[in-house]
Structure formats: structure tokens, C-alpha cells
Amino acid sequence: AAAMQAGEAQAVRHLVYPLVEMSEATGEQMVRLANPWLRLRDGQPAPEWRGAWGPASALWQNQPGVAKLLHGRPRDGSFWMSFAEFVNGFNKVHVCRLPTSSSTLLRCEWTQHSSGGSLATWPGSKWRCNPQFQLQVAQRSRVVISLSQPDAQLDGNLDSDAYPHAIGVYVLRADSLGRRQLTFTDYDSASGVLSAGALCGASRLARSRSVCTEVELEPGAYCVIPCAPPSLRCACPKRKRE
């Protein structure tokens, strides 16, 4: 799905349009988007894309070769545009991964005592205070871990939809599985220092609705640690998919 940034009357800005197809016709790169917005929030009909290769574009008659390669003008509510106009008009592309039959949803909460900041290698760091989740891998597997925080649009702050706190998630190699405070490979418990060898995967640290990491793991014990800034109180649903 793609999020539009332009303020043109040709489409509705700040809304998401599913990207359903990409094609190249006679050297021109094209993108087909679905328009699910039949009406706006105020009840008015949603405007259609009126640029090149839009529903009312004369190019469908003037360039029959391209039109044939694109299987004609769409009649299902979708529309075509050039890739150059797509890049100019949209500022975000969201790639959706469909869940497999093996997925798990876990919930946790950061408090002033369980938010230890991001992974650090200096003595005295508090990253181990973050919540920890056990992960036992029986065979070589590719695991996708997504960490989410509450939607900023539903927090009651009508002045801003921004996320004030950065979140991230780490996957570490563990040599034992206890209930909490796992023992990590290449970890010095006296100093609190974790070597680079213990880290198997990590997401970006970002002020966003969710972050994600995909990692291929060998059989063994692992620990998944969602992190948040120190002294933060926040809920965090975490999804794990194999």
C-alpha cells in the first residue's frame, strides 16, 4: 500500500491506496493502484486520478499499443499512472507480509522499572531491564518479529499523531532458558557488557507505530527483547511469525 503526500485535486492526500500491479509497457514503467475511497469523510464523492493514464485520460485512445499491453482501461475501480508520477505523488510504501499458519501474538508493558533503553555495550547499561521473551528453535527457521506500540491517532491527543518514543526489538543468542533475566552467550554479568557475537537480529530504532526484523535462526535457545526509552510506560503487542 502507498500513502499519498500530494495536495493535488487529482487524488485524496493522506490516504492509502493499495498497489495491485506494476508493469512495463514499451519502455514506460507503470503502476496500477486501487481506489477504495468512494466517498470522503464529509460524504462528498472522492476525486479520481486525472493525470496521464487515469480513467479519463486520452492516452488510452492515443497509444493503443500501450493500452493493449495494460489490458485496456481498468473497470474495477483501479487506475494506472506512470512510475515517475507515483514516486512524485507518494511518500511512503508499506509492504504487507501475510501471516503464516505459525504465528504468535504476545503482549507486554513497559513501566518505569522495565524500560531499559536500547541495546548497549557499555558497563552499567540498563537494557536487560526490558521485557524478555524466550524463543526455542527446533530446526533452522526464518522468523519475522514485529513490535507495535499503541496507535498515536487513538491516544486522545488531537494536536499530534506523532510517536514521541522510539521502540526497537533485538534477538539474542541465549545459553539457558529461565523465567526472566536469561543468561546470554558472550555476556559478562559482572559488567553488564554484551559482545557483538550474541546479537542475531535487530530492528531499526524508530518513533513509529511498529518496527520489524526478519532473521534466520539455527536450532537453539534465543531471547527476544523489545526495548523502549528508560522510565517509559507503554503497552507493546508483539507478533512473532515463523
Please list the active-site residues: 35
DSSP letter (8 states) at residue 222: E
SS3 per-residue string spanning 165-202: CCEEEEEEEECCCCCCCCCECCEECCCCEECHHHEEEE
The single residue listed with the C-alpha cell 493525470 is 51
d(CA 93, CA 135) in angstroms, rounded, equals 31
The single residue listed with the C-alpha cell 499519498 is 4
Residues 239, 97: contact at Cβ < 8 Å? no
Query: Which residues make beta-bridge pairs with 217?
Result: 141
